[in-house]
C-alpha cells in the first residue's frame, strides 16, 4: 500500500438551484399584502424598475416639438442620469443601494392597546392598598394567564415576591431585613384579586371560576351554586339522574340548571385579550357570470412595474459603460426583467390552480359544502403540469372570495372516503353531513356513532365507527350520552 497525494478525474451530478428560483418560490408563497410590501422594496432598490401610474394610460403624448421645447426650457436643470445610475452611495459613506438592503420607511403610529394585565392594574391602583400589598398584587397579576386563570400556586407566588424583596434590600443596602410575605398574605390577596373585573379572574380551575361568577351575580344561595360547589365532577359528566337522586330533584330540573351554567364564561380573561385583529385580503375572486364561474385576480392594489425607459436609453450607450459599470448595469437590468416575469408567472400559476379547483368543485359552489369532492395537491399538479410543492406554495395562506364566502384555498383540499358507487366523498363533506345529522337528531334519542355509520351506509358511504368518533371530536360534538336531553 502506497501513501501520498494522488489525483483522480471523476464526473458527478449535483443539483444546484439558482438564487432567482428561490426568490420565485418566495413570491408564490407570499400572500397579497406581503407581496405588496415586497414590490415596494424592489422599487426602492432597483433603478431600472419604475411604477406605472394608472393615469398614465389616459395622458396625451407630447409631440416631438413639445418635447424639444421642454428640454430647452429645462436647460441646466436636467439631472445627470448617468451619475444617478452609477451612484451606489459609496462616496457619501452611505450603504450601497441594493435590493436586499432596501427598506420602506413607515411612519410609526402610536396605538394604545390594553391587555388583561393592564386592565387589572388599573383596577388595583384604585384600591386602598399599602405599598407592600401593591407589590404582592403585581406578583399575582404577572402570574395570571391570558384566559384569566392563575398560572402559579400561592406558594410559588410567595416565593417569587419574597425574592424580589430580598433583591431590593441588597441593592438598596438596607440594614433591616424586610418582612417576608407569608401564605396568609397570599390567601388574603387572592381574594382581593378575584373580586376584580371580569368576574372569574384569578381562579385556579374551572370550578372556582364558575363559583366566582355566581358570587358576583349574587347567586350563592341557588341550586346552581350548590351543584358546582358540591358535585362538580358529576355535573361535568352529565349525570342528571344521579344528581337528581342525590339532591332530591327531578333529573330535568338538574339539566335546566346545567344549561344556565353553560351560559357562564369559562375563560373570562379572553374578553380583554390583546390579540390584534388579523386582516385578510382575498388573492382571488370567483364570480358567477351568465351561469358560469369566472376566476379573477384581486391584484388591483399591487404596484404595476415596468422597465424605466430613461435608464434603458442610458444603458444602450455601450461606449460610456465598460468594466464594472457594465456589470452593474447588466445585473440591475436583468434583475428588473426577471422580477416582472416572476410576477406574471405568479399570476398565471394562481389562475391555473384556481380555475382547476372551480371546475372540480362546481357542485360545491352550486349546492354547498356537503358536495365538496376530495382533492389533493398532486391531482392539481398533474393537471397543470407543475410540481406538487409549487401548488402547495400557491395555495398557502391564500384566500378566495366566492359566492360561498371568503375561503382559504386549503379549504378545497381534503382526503376522500370510498363509496358503493365507485366515487370518493370528501372528508370535509363527511364532517358537514355529521354536523347536520346531529343538528337534526331527536334530543331525547341522540344518534350514536354506530347509528351515524349506518346512516352513511344507507347513502353508500363506507366509514368506520372510529372515523366518525374522530370527526365528531374535531367538530367539538359531545358523545350521544352527553347530548341526551330529558
In-domain check, residue 97:
no
Q: In this predicted structure, what is the pLDDT of residue 184?
A: 92
Q: Answer yes or no: is pLDDT of 205 > 90.
A: yes
pLDDT of 409 above 70:
yes
pLDDT, tens digit, for every residue of 324-372? Answer: 666 777 777 777 777 888 888 888 888 999 999 999 899 899 988 888 8
pLDDT of 458: 86
pLDDT digits (tens, 9 = 90+) for 126-177: 998 888 899 899 999 989 999 999 988 999 999 888 888 887 766 666 655 6
Q: Residue 30: which pLDDT band, with cuts at 50, 70 and 90?
A: confident
pTM: 0.58
Q: 262 in a domain, yes or no?
A: yes
Mean pLDDT (the chain) is: 78
Confidence check: pLDDT of 93 > 90: no
In Å, what is the CA distance from 411 to each residue of 287, 357, 431?
18, 11, 13
Q: Is residue 63 predicted with pLDDT exceeding 50? A: no
Confirm whether 93 is domain-assigned.
no
- From 362, 391, 413, give the residue that closes a domain: 413
At residue 322 the predicted structure's pLDDT band, cuts being 50, 70 and 90, is low
Same domain assignment for residues 290 and 390: yes
Looking at the fold, whether 406 and 436 belong to one and the same domain comes out as no
Q: Does 127 lie in the same domain as 189?
A: yes
Same domain, 297 and 404: yes
Q: Same domain for 406 and 477?
A: no
pLDDT at residue number 44: 78
Number of structural domains (the chain) is: 4
Within a domain: 76: no
Are 395 and 287 found together in one domain?
Answer: yes
Q: What is the CATH number of the domain that holds 427?
A: 1.10.10.60
Q: Are residues 394 and 316 in the same domain?
A: yes
Instruction: Output the CA–CA distances (angstroms, integers) from residue 78 to 84, 318, 423, in the order listed.
Output: 12, 22, 71
Domain of 486 in residue numbering reads as 415-486
The mean pLDDT value for 113-120 works out to 84
Query: Residue 481 pLDDT > 90, yes or no?
Result: no
Mean pLDDT calculated for residue range 67-76:
48
pLDDT band at 285 (very low <50, low <70, confident <90, very high): very high
Max avg pLDDT among 77-91, 119-133, 451-465: 119-133
Q: Using CA atoms of 90, 95, 98, 100 in order, give the dihedral in degrees to the nearest 10.
A: 160
| Shared domain check, 462 and 451 | yes
Amino acid at each position: 500500500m502506497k501513501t501520498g497525494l494522488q489525483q483522480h478525474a471523476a464526473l458527478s451530478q449535483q443539483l444546484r438551484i439558482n438564487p432567482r428560483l428561490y426568490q420565485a418560490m418566495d413570491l408564490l408563497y407570499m400572500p397579497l399584502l406581503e407581496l405588496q410590501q415586497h414590490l415596494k422594496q424592489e422599487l426602492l432598490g432597483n433603478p431600472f424598475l419604475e411604477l406605472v401610474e394608472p393615469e398614465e394610460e389616459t395622458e396625451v403624448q407630447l409631440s416631438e416639438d413639445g418635447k424639444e421645447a421642454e428640454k430647452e426650457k429645462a436647460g441646466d436643470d436636467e439631472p445627470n442620469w448617468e451619475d444617478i445610475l452609477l451612484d451606489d452611495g459609496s462616496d457619501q459613506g452611505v450603504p450601497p443601494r441594493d435590493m436586499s438592503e432596501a427598506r420602506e420607511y413607515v411612519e410609526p403610529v402610536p396605538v394604545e392597546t390594553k391587555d388583561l394585565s393592564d386592565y387589572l392594574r388599573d383596577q388595583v391602583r384604585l384600591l386602598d392598598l399599602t405599598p407592600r400589598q401593591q407589590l404582592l398584587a403585581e406578583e399575582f397579576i404577572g402570574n395570571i394567564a391570558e384566559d384569566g386563570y392563575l398560572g402559579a400556586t400561592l406558594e410559588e407566588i410567595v416565593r417569587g415576591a419574597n425574592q424580589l424583596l430580598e433583591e431590593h434590600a441588597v441593592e438598596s443596602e438596607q440594614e433591616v431585613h424586610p418582612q417576608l410575605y407569608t401564605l396568609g398574605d397570599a390567601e388574603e390577596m387572592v381574594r382581593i384579586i378575584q373580586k376584580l373585573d371580569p368576574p372569574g379572574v384569578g381562579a385556579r380551575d374551572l370550578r372556582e371560576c364558575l363559583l366566582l361568577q355566581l358570587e358576583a351575580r349574587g347567586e350563592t344561595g341557588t341550586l346552581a351554586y350548590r351543584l358546582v360547589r358540591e358535585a362538580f365532577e358529576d355535573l361535568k359528566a352529565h349525570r342528571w339522574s344521579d344528581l337528581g337522586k342525590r339532591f332530591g330533584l327531578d333529573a330535568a330540573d338538574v339539566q335546566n340548571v346545567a344549561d344556565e351554567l353553560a351560559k357562564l364564561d369559562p375563560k373570562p380573561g379572553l374578553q380583554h385579550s390583546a390579540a390584534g385583529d388579523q386582516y385578510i385580503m382575498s388573492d382571488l375572486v370567483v364570480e358567477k357570470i351568465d351561469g358560469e364561474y369566472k376566476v379573477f385576480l384581486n391584484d388591483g392594489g399591487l404596484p404595476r412595474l415596468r422597465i424605466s425607459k430613461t435608464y434603458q436609453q442610458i444603458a444602450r450607450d455601450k461606449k460610456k459603460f465598460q468594466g464594472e459599470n457594465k456589470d452593474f448595469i447588466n445585473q440591475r437590468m436583468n434583475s428588473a426583467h426577471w422580477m416582472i416575469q416572476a410576477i406574471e408567472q405568479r399570476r398565471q400559476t394562481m389562475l391555473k390552480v384556481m380555475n382547476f379547483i372551480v371546475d372540480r368543485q362546481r357542485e360545491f359552489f352550486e349546492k354547498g359544502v356537503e358536495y365538496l369532492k376530495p382533492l389533493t395537491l398532486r391531482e392539481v399538479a398533474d393537471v397543470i403540469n407543475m410540481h406538487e410543492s409549487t401548488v402547495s406554495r400557491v395555495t398557502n395562506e391564500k384566500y378566495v372570495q366566492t359566492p360561498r364566502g371568503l375561503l382559504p384555498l386549503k379549504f378545497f383540499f381534503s382526503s376522500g372516503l370510498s363509496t358503493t358507487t365507485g366515487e370518493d366523498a370528501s372528508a370535509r363533506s363527511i364532517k358537514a353531513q355529521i354536523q347536520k345529522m346531529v343538528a337534526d337528531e331527536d334530543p331525547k334519542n341522540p344518534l350514536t356513532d354506530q347509528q351515524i355509520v349506518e346512516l352513511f351506509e344507507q347513502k353508500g358511504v363506507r366509514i368506520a365507527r372510529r372515523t366518525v368518533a374522530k370527526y365528531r371530536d374535531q367538530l367539538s360534538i359531545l358523545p350521544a350520552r352527553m347530548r341526551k336531553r330529558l
